[in-house]
């Protein structure tokens, strides 16, 4: 066992209201510079939706890339004139500026100086890149509130893989928000694909960074990252990415996105993991085993054998105590309510998510509150507004069983805590009903 420490995050999606405060405060702190206008180290995606950059989840392109075989496995396929590069650098997809969005601004002076006209004025946005008036046809969160109900929305690759199209009737639409930062992966494709050795993963806390002096602007990290979380600065000609606010972390402060999150949904902390297990866990053949194999690398920070092994690796005592105090291990491994985003990308992402426990569409408990009686919810779990299949496409490589199990636990916990908060005796038998 080789114990290492990793900064990680768990986000509780039930609490995200899509206010974008995290994105804006991150941008103010890190990317409010020329060359990074289009860059959002933290973005909040509309789900269903095409994401940011657009269609990043579609891992296959005409140039080749990851394709799903008939037996459901992901396989690398090279193609087109980039055949060789595609083979070497896994996902060859290089988003264009239009896949992110062309940044724009308005002529704010016009608010005061525009002459009175016959019609209500409509501000035309101006491209920040060219200065021209723009006709905007797509942008991040363009799909807000459509809930999969239009043809454009059906381009969401997860919706496409679902056996039923959910949004034929407006009553069947659903939406939620998915905040995303770099995953600071245990097996980072960006680091593996950098020909200059500029991308690196810090040994002490696992934060993945770009050495700006070493970067030669090859952009293999942009194509190599399946989450598309490395960005090219067009002014400096170098790659940039989320730093997990390491200058703040080093002095004991949380990341900007965690500190400013309005929903208080981001749990940030250290976890201990077994570095000897990482390659094996990432390479598990059956995709439905990926969740458990990725969970299996995390170590119980309260286990004396783990503490001893961590000390032997030189991990300081106060770091071990920080891992013991952090809720990350418990949410992922003990309570098993957190799931990784796209484990099938096999980079071992270190930002995990508690899936949203959406309301049941046509079954309401006696009081009208969700999960008032969790057994009602258990019986109707296939009628949740957000289909299990959609969540499984995001978090468990398509396997609905662990998603259902997670939602049952969340429903039981909600009911249990409601009883306690109301001063009632909680129903201990709920735990058995979770299954
Ligand atoms: Fe690298 Fe992408 Fe993983 Fe971040 S999410 S560590 S950029 S591979
Ligand atoms: Fe969601 Fe928090 Fe970001 Fe608001 S600040 S969009 S609640 S993650």
Specify the residue with its C-alpha closest to ligand 2, atom 3: 22
Substitution candidate for ligand 1 out of 51, 95, 183 with most atoms within 8 A of CB: 183
Residue 430 φ then ψ, to 5°? -60, -40
pLDDT at 81 (0 to 100): 46
How many CB atoms lie under 10 A from the CB of residue 382?
12
The list of the chain residues with pLDDT below 70 reads: 60-92, 121, 145, 149-154, 163-171, 360-373, 435
Cβ-contact 392, 322 below 8 angstroms: no
How high is the ipTM of this complex?
0.95
Centre of ligand 2 to C-alpha 354, Å, is: 14
**415 assigned to some structural domain:** yes
For residue 288, the CA-to-ligand 1 centroid distance in Å is: 22
Provide residues with CB under 6 Å of ligand 2.
16-22, 44, 177, 179, 261-263, 265
Asked whether residue 376 is domain-assigned, the answer is yes
**Short-list 79, 347, 81, CA closest to 228:** 347
> What pLDDT does 70 receive?
61
Q: What 3-state DSSP class applies to 45?
A: strand
Atom of ligand 1 nearest to the CA of 349: 3
CATH code (residue 396): 1.10.3650.10
C-alpha–C-alpha distance, residues 215 and 238, integer Å? 6
**Structural domain contains residue 408:** yes
Q: How far apart are CA 70 and CA 251, in angstroms?
A: 50
Cα 142 to chain center, whole Å? Answer: 18
Where in the sequence is the domain holding 393, given as residue range(s)?
356-435
> CA-based Rg of the chain, rounded to a whole angstrom?
23
Reading the block at residue 93, the tokens are 């997809």
Q: Is residue 434 one of the residues assigned to a domain? A: yes
Whether 133 is in a domain gets the answer no
In-domain check, residue 139: no
Q: Which two three-digit tokens encode residue 356? A: 């949203």
Cα 91 from Cα 67, distance rounded (Å): 10
- Domain assignment of residue 301, yes or no: no
How many structural domains comprise the chain? 1
**How confident is the model over 84-114, as pLDDT tens digits?**
444 444 455 789 888 998 888 887 777 778 7
Specify if 273 maps to a domain: no
């Amino acid at each position: 066992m080789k114990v290492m420490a990793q900064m990680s995050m768990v986000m509780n999606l039930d609490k995200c209201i899509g206010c974008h405060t995290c994105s804006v405060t991150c941008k103010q702190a890190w990317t409010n510079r020329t060359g990074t206008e289009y860059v959002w180290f933290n973005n909040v995606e509309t789900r269903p939706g095409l994401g940011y950059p657009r269609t990043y989840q579609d891992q296959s392109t005409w140039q080749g890339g990851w394709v799903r075989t008939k037996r459901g496995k992901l396989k690398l396929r090279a193609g087109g004139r980039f055949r060789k590069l595609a083979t070497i650098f896994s996902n060859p997809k290089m988003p264009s500026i239009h896949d992110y969005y062309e940044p724009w601004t308005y002529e704010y002076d016009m608010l005061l100086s525009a002459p009175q006209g016959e019609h209500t004025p409509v501000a035309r946005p101006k491209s920040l890149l060219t200065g021209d008036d723009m006709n905007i046809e797509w942008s991040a969160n363009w799909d807000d509130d459509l809930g999969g109900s239009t043809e454009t929305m059906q381009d969401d690759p997860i919706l496409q893989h679902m056996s039923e199209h959910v949004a034929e009737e407006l009553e069947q639409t659903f939406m939620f928000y998915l905040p995303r930062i770099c995953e600071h992966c245990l097996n980072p494709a960006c680091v593996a694909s950098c020909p200059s050795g500029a991308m690196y993963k810090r040994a002490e806390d696992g934060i993945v960074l770009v050495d700006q002096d070493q970067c030669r602007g090859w952009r293999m990290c942009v194509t190599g990252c399946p989450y598309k979380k490395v960005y090219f600065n067009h002014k400096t000609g170098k790659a940039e990415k989320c730093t997990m606010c390491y200058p703040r972390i080093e002095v004991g402060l949380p990341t900007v996105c965690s500190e400013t999150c309005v929903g208080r949904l981001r749990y940030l902390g250290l976890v201990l993991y077994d570095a000897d297990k990482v390659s094996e866990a990432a390479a598990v053949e059956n995709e439905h085993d990926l969740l458990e194999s990725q969970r299996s690398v995390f170590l119980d920070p309260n286990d004396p054998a783990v503490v001893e092994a961590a000390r032997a690796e030189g991990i300081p005592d106060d770091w071990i105590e920080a891992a013991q105090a952090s809720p990350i291990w418990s949410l992922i491994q003990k309570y098993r309510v957190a799931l990784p985003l796209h484990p099938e990308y096999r980079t071992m992402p270190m930002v995990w998510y508690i899936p949203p426990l959406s309301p049941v569409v046509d079954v309401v408990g006696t009081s009208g509150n969700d999960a008032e009686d969790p057994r009602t919810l258990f019986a109707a779990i296939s009628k949740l507004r957000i289909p299990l299949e959609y969540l499984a496409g995001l978090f468990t490589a398509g396997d609905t069983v662990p998603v259902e199990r997670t939602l049952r636990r969340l429903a039981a916990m909600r009911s249990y805590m409601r009883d306690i908060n109301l001063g009632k005796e909680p129903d201990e038998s709920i735990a058995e009903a979770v299954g």
